[in-house]
């Protein structure tokens, strides 16, 4: 019987799906460490949960306190797992401190610290954007002069395009840097702006080898979505897995994950396909992807990736699924300021495309803005033909409009 501790700082919809999967893995006892109470979990999950420990914050010391408490109750710990980007380094430190198998602190930090990540990739001869970790405004401005504008400014430990800005001019860059106020203790990462189409590469590694992967298309990229609040963006997983444009990335993905320290886990790599056909790695996360990607991949393969990830992390086993469908998500973002006031075009989309809808989350009137590029809701489509899903996504974002007010 494996003794599993799932660290979930906050109980959100996506978190519940991962915890639910972990509690369904045979021959396991699962305990949850969280800032939220167990009452936030569904009754069905609570019925399968063997322990819960509430912590005050997500500091390493506090999380360790919760992990050790459940470990004493269980009489040992076989695995410590969690899917949130912000806690991966802490989980690595706690595994090392308690002698629990899994990714350690150094590897976790190679994925979490974006400057360290890119330095590691470039030292291995892998293509990625030029960057600098700048502890002051003069150093940042000097680097911008060297690589040219536009330029990307982000925190070293950013995730999901949060705190990330594209600066088009020296004046805009200077204003952005004044706001960030970089210092030796809180530097910023400056990154060369890459022109190209953005994609993701989600993959399962087992004992250091990639055993399965899936590539998604972004339209447009997350950074542009963050800059333009009115954009309703899409993510598309084509049914075809061996398109010629994927090959340059597939040839370097294994080396990239290896030098960063991936052994066993699900990783999310964002990358650019340049106009000349070459590729550049943007960022890599050593955790399941967000923004409904795990759900999308599940629909494309007609299997449960949440459950597969839990089996992988607990028992180190993975059955390779068949790609049966194309799948895509249209993210519904509100226009204006305030809460959801009106939704236009929903009936039209439901009437013409309802037979393709696999899952949907439609915001209620009065729904508060998410503050995220994921928007206020989404619609997921699925069909055996990629073209059909592409057309459904295009029609949806051109038809549905959410007004805030």
Residue 119 domain-assigned? no
Largest CA distance in the chain: 60
**Integer Cα distance of 206 and 227 in angstroms:** 37
Q: Are residues 210 and 283 in the same domain?
A: yes
Task: Please check whether residues 225 and 266 belong to one and the same domain.
Answer: yes
Residue 116 lies in a domain: no
112 falls within a domain:
no
Tens of pLDDT, residue by residue over 134-156, are 999 999 999 999 999 999 998 88
Query: Does residue 115 belong to any structural domain of this protein?
Result: no
186 with 201, same domain?
Answer: no
Q: Residue 98: which domain range?
A: 2-102
Q: Which pTM does this prediction carry?
A: 0.91
Does position 352 have pLDDT exceeding 60, yes or no?
yes
Q: What is the pLDDT of residue 116?
A: 94
Angle between helices 105-112 and 114-123 (to 10 degrees): 100
pLDDT at site 373: 73
Give the chain's domain count. Answer: 3
Distance CA 246, CA 277 (A): 10
- My answer on whether 82 and 138 are in the same domain is no
Q: Which residues contact 192 (CB under 8 A, 6 or more apart)?
A: 129, 130, 131, 147, 148, 151, 152
Percent of the chain, pLDDT > 90?
A: 82
**Does 286 share its domain with 222?**
yes
Q: Which of 177, 192, 207 is the last residue of a domain?
A: 192
- For residues 220 and 271, membership in a common domain is answered with yes
232 in Cβ contact with 330 (< 8 Å): yes
Distance CA 28, CA 183 (A): 46
Mean pLDDT to the nearest integer, 213-225: 84
- Final residue before a domain boundary, out of 83, 102, 121: 102
pLDDT in tens, 282-327: 999 999 998 899 999 999 999 999 999 999 999 999 999 999 999 9
Find the CATH number of the domain harbouring 297. Answer: 3.30.470.20
């Amino acid at each position: 019987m494996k003794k599993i501790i799932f660290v979930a700082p906050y109980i959100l919809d996506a978190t519940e799906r991962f915890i639910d999967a972990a509690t369904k893995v045979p021959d396991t006892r699962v305990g949850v460490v969280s800032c939220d109470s167990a009452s936030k979990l569904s009754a069905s999950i609570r019925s399968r949960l063997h322990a819960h420990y509430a912590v005050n914050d997500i500091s390493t010391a506090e999380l360790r306190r919760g992990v050790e408490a459940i470990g004493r109750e269980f009489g040992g710990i076989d695995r410590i797992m969690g899917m949130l980007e912000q806690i991966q380094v802490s989980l690595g430190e706690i595994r090392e401190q308690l002698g629990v198998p899994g990714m350690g602190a150094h590897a976790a930090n190679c994925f979490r610290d974006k400057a360290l990540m890119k330095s590691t990739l470039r030292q291995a001869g892998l293509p990625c954007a030029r960057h600098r970790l700048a502890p002051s405004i003069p150093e940042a401005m000097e680097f911008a002069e060297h690589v040219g504008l536009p330029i990307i400014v982000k925190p070293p430990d950013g995730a999901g395009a949060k705190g990330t800005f594209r600066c088009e001019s020296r004046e805009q860059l200077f204003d952005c840097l004044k706001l960030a106020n970089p210092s030796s203790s809180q530097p910023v990462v400056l990154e060369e702006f890459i022109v190209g189409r953005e994609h993701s590469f989600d993959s399962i590694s087992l004992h250091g080898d990639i055993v399965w992967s899936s590539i998604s298309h972004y339209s447009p990229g997350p950074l542009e979505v963050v800059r333009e609040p009115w954009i309703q963006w899409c993510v598309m997983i084509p049914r075809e897995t061996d398109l010629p444009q994927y090959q340059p990335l597939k040839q370097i993905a294994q080396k990239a994950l290896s030098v960063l320290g991936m052994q066993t886990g699900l990783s999310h790599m964002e990358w650019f396909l340049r106009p000349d056909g070459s590729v550049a790695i943007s960022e890599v996360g050593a955790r399941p992807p967000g923004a409904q990607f795990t759900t999308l991949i599940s629909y494309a393969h007609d299997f449960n990736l949440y459950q597969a990830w839990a089996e992988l992390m607990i028992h180190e086993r993975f059955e390779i699924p068949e790609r049966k469908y194309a799948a895509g998500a249209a993210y519904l973002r509100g226009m204006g300021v305030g809460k959801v006031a009106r939704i236009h075009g929903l009936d039209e989309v439901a009437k013409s495309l309802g037979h393709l809808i696999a899952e949907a989350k439609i915001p209620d009137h009065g729904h508060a803005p998410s503050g995220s590029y994921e928007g206020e809701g989404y619609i997921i489509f699925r069909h055996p033909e990629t073209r059909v899903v592409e057309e459904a996504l295009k029609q949806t974002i051109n038809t549905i409009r959410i007004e805030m007010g």
